[in-house]
């Protein structure tokens, strides 16, 4: 599937918001709820602000259950927390009920306990999972060389040695990526161009470029991030 290329980050965020709204309507009509997986980062934040602002009335947020792709080993109020970003830009502005928000407990002293707790709750496929891509090709907190890249049984895993600080994290595994009904991969900026090209057109294995795991999903990228592609749609 060719990437969807947009002129800039604002155009990308608007198109991504439309995709989320459509998926939410379909899921709620079919199953009575919309299971939405979120990632941290600058690019997804633009999408979240749209959904929590101008697009807010277009989704029945009382029927949305919010999940997370990964979380750093920090308290929920920490500036690095993916939950904090989502709460400030989407969850609170949209009025998602607190009971519907399932956060990863990155503040637990024993992250293995937090992993087990999340695993016990994340038992069904996500309707839509928002992912970003790092300059090294990582997605969620699945980094090059991670043993979790081969995980197909568990849905949640523990990262002890992330090459990006902080080193300790919780992440969904490739099983969650595989099972999600829709995966929306967002990338903006020239610093992502090489990783996007390697993920979409290169021959590298997922162990080298983890974003290859979602190569066939919906990629929304701006022109700067698409600059390394031989072809873009």
User: Which CATH number do you get for residue 50?
Assistant: 3.40.50.1360
| pTM of the complete model beyond 0.95 | yes
Place of tokens 């990629």: 219
Asked if 34 and 64 touch (Cβ cutoff 8 Å), the reply is yes
Tell me the per-residue pLDDT of 30-58, one tens digit each, with 9 for 90 and over. Answer: 999 999 999 998 899 999 999 999 999 99
- CA-to-CA distance for 77 and 220, rounded, in angstroms? 29
Q: Is residue 123 part of a domain?
A: yes
Q: Is residue 130 part of a domain?
A: yes
- CA-to-CA distance for 231 and 233, rounded, in angstroms? 7
- CA-to-CA distance for 183 and 199, rounded, in angstroms? 15
Q: Is residue 31 part of a domain?
A: yes
Confidence (pLDDT) at 230:
87
Count of domains for the chain? 1
Q: Is residue 232 part of a domain?
A: no
Tell me the per-residue pLDDT of 53-82, one tens digit each, with 9 for 90 and over. Answer: 999 999 999 999 999 999 999 999 999 999
Q: What is the span of the domain harbouring residue 81?
A: 11-222
Q: Is residue 231 part of a domain?
A: no
Confidence (pLDDT) at 1:
57
Residue 7 DSSP symbol: S
What average pLDDT does this structure show over 191-199?
97
Q: Is residue 3 part of a domain?
A: no
pLDDT of residue 232 exceeding 60, the answer is no
Q: Is residue 227 part of a domain?
A: no
Q: Is residue 6 part of a domain?
A: no
Asked if 185 and 133 touch (Cβ cutoff 8 Å), the reply is yes
């Amino acid at each position: 599937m060719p990437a969807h290329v947009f002129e800039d980050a604002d155009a990308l965020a608007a198109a991504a918001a439309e995709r989320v709204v459509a998926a939410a309507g379909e899921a709620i009509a079919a199953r009575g709820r919309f299971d939405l997986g979120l990632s941290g980062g600058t690019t997804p934040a633009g999408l979240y602000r749209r959904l929590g602002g101008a697009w807010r009335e277009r989704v029945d947020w009382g029927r949305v259950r919010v999940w997370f792709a990964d979380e750093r080993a920090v308290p929920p109020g920490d500036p690095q927390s993916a939950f904090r970003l989502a709460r400030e830009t989407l969850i609170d502005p949209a009025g998602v009920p607190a009971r519907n928000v399932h956060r990863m407990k990155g503040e637990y002293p024993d992250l293995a306990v937090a992993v087990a707790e999340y695993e016990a709750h994340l038992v069904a496929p996500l309707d839509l999972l928002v992912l970003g891509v790092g300059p090294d090709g990582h997605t969620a907190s699945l980094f090059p060389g991670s043993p979790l890249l081969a995980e197909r049984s568990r849905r949640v895993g523990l990262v002890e040695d992330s090459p990006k600080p902080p080193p300790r994290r919780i992440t969904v595994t490739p099983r969650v990526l595989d099972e999600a009904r829709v995966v929306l991969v967002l990338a903006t900026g020239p610093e992502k161009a090489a990783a996007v090209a390697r993920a979409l057109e290169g021959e590298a294995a997922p162990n080298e470029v983890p974003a290859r795991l979602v190569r066939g999903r919906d990629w929304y990228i701006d022109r700067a991030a698409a600059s390394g592609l031989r072809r873009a749609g």
